Structure 1
């Protein structure tokens, strides 16, 4: 599905390993302040293949919906978005994480992908809410969340180990509907 300016959002597959490795390598310094430490293998095609195999196993277990963002004409990866920690029953919730190639920032791509994942969460998975967290100083990601209808609901001290230290995060959620759980 094309979501913005010739960029397609689709389920990630093993065939995306090389394109993801290339994009992650090019964006390594740009993303470092927002990411956990990664081994050198992570930035290789083999490392991405292994990571994707893990993502697909989580998907097959119903716990994750992993997507890649690619330029429709070239097949180049320009980002990814995952809906994870999917919980059904009375909670009906999931958590979202995303990243976009530096060359694509400020073009509405992250917002469009986030809105599409929220649509899938509501219409296909019948989730009640989606949550996300950002570093307290990641104002760009907070703007993306606000544009996609997320509201801040808390602060989590020392929430994730990012760029070499435990970092505080602002927590956001978007309520998708008020129907009773299935």
Structure 2
């Protein structure tokens, strides 16, 4: 099990790229998180499970943080918030979750981006930071992601990150109150090595 050091307010970020940095959520993120989620509700709800009535309340956020901590401590999930380097503005979130060890050595990636920041490449960079974390630090062999077929923004994001489409999962997840089909995407450790080697040979 890899222990992810859950950040305290003011501590250094855990994963850093050129434009964004990722760190574990903390209680002090509540106001920024609630404001961004509220502003982005219409943008996000077609692609997410139904929100609870108290979803944006502080108490629900505390429970969310507690669950995140439990997942990280057990090694089954590593949630991150995504922040812009230039001003530390919260942009969205990305989670490496449902980690299975044993013969699987697999995890699933999920993500969301606030509506003011969508389509600007921030989430592409965030996924690019999580992938080496998953393969090099957690020693996973396979990453999966699933998205609704007509979510073209999400399919483009995954394909740009190197994920390959494997097939259709029928009635896979209950999203926005309806059981919906999803496309299954995967990235294998060897896929990433081949891509890196091909780039180096150019």
Q: Determine if the TM-score, normalized by the shorter chain, exceeds 0.5.
A: yes
Deviation at 1:13, TM superposition (A): 2.0
**Counterpart-to-counterpart distance in 2, 1:95 and 1:78:** 20
User: Which position in structure 1 is the counterpart of 2:74?
Assistant: 61
> What secondary structure sits across from 1:107 in the alignment?
coil
Give matches, 1:75-114, under 5 Å.
75-114=88-127
Relative to the length of structure 1, the TM-score reads 0.91
Deviation at 1:154, TM superposition (A): 1.3
Deviation at 1:103, TM superposition (A): 1.4
**Counterpart-to-counterpart distance in 1, 2:130 and 2:21:** 13
User: Which position in structure 1 is the counterpart of 2:162?
Assistant: 149
> What secondary structure sits across from 1:20 in the alignment?
helix
> What secondary structure sits across from 1:25 in the alignment?
helix
Pick the structure with greater CA Rg. 2
> What secondary structure sits across from 1:126 in the alignment?
coil
Across the aligned residues of Structure 1 and Structure 2, the Cα RMSD in angstroms comes to 1.6
Relative to the length of structure 2, the TM-score reads 0.82
> What secondary structure sits across from 1:41 in the alignment?
coil
Which protein has the bigger strand share?
Answer: 1
Deviation at 1:45, TM superposition (A): 2.6
Q: Structure 1 unaligned runs (5+)? A: none
User: Which position in structure 2 is the counterpart of 1:3?
Assistant: 17
Deviation at 1:4, TM superposition (A): 4.5
